Amino acid sequence: MILPGAVQVPTGKGSPYRVNVPYRWVVHSIECPPDISQAALVSAARNHQYPPHFWVSMPNRVIVQTVDTNLAAQALEHRSGTVETNHARAIQVEVAGFAKDMHTYPDEWFEWLRDALLMPVAGFHQINLTNCPEFKRYPESYGANGVRFADADWLDFDGLCGHEHVPGNDHGDPGLLPVHLFVPPPIGDDDLTPEQDKMLREVYRQLTGNDSPSSKPPRPLRDAVGGDGKSSLWQRLGAVAKKVGA
Ligand SMILES: [Zn+2]
């Protein structure tokens, strides 16, 4: 998908995924100050040799997209003869900040990250944001850290992990993420902000090829999870994704 609201910097570096496994989120840290400017983030994204799909500054609320999530990105190491990494449907984001400081950043930053990026992509690709392995503080997260996946567990994984969990890699980023904040909150139709409504509509259009005709959230999204209207955007998108076989 192309994320609504993201600054698009296409690199032409995406390539088809190679294994039929669940999609999963992989989070990296850039190792730069969290409040890097949009111009600097765009420049880093444009010039990077092995880009992920997304780059973000949480305090500045900027998202840059360099690769369509329907294609594989390149920010993970993969030696020939070892288990697939980038090509195992790993959707990747580089978060501005330092791995050693990740656990000290404000909750609001991560809640914004959840709403603006993690949740819409999770809905589109049916990623389970409540499924996260144990994260460790950097530098304990480096190398053989006790939390890195075995090959088979990595291929089965359908949730959100970090570079520190990917087999065949030794990086310890992004350090300790507050993953409890990534659980999508329930939300009713009337609680949608105009921003969320717009995002929902655009993701729906990319999933189904149809525009939503009404001023309300698209009907299939309202109906997807039954009567009470109190489910998360993520659950609604996931239900529609399932229906259209995305
Ligand atoms: Zn990394």
Q: How far is the CA of 173 from the centre of ligand 1 (A)?
A: 5
In the chain, the domains with their CATH numbers are: 7-182 (3.40.80.10), 189-244 (no CATH)
| Dist. CA 144–CA 167, nearest whole Å | 10
Q: How far is the CA of 29 from the centre of ligand 1 (A)?
A: 6
pLDDT of the residue at 233: 67
Residues 48-76 pLDDT 10s:
999 999 999 999 999 999 999 999 999 99
Coil, helix or strand at residue 118: helix
What beta strand segments (E) does the chain contain?
A: 7-8, 24-29, 54-57, 62-65, 90-95, 160-162
Q: How far is the CA of 224 from the centre of ligand 1 (A)?
A: 36
Q: How far is the CA of 246 from the centre of ligand 1 (A)?
A: 28
Split at pLDDT 50, 70, 90, the class of 156 is very high
Residues 73-114 pLDDT 10s:
999 999 999 999 999 999 999 999 999 999 999 999 999 999
Q: How far is the CA of 71 from the centre of ligand 1 (A)?
A: 18
Q: Which amino acid is at 15?
A: S
Note the residue count of the chain: 246
Q: How far is the CA of 121 from the centre of ligand 1 (A)?
A: 19
Query: How many Å is the Cα radius of gyration of the chain?
Result: 17
Q: How far is the CA of 174 from the centre of ligand 1 (A)?
A: 7
Q: Provide φ and ψ at 79, rounded to 5°.
A: -90, 145
Which residues are paired to 62 by β-bridges? 57
Q: How far is the CA of 203 from the centre of ligand 1 (A)?
A: 27
Around Cβ 55, how many Cβ atoms within 10 Å? 28
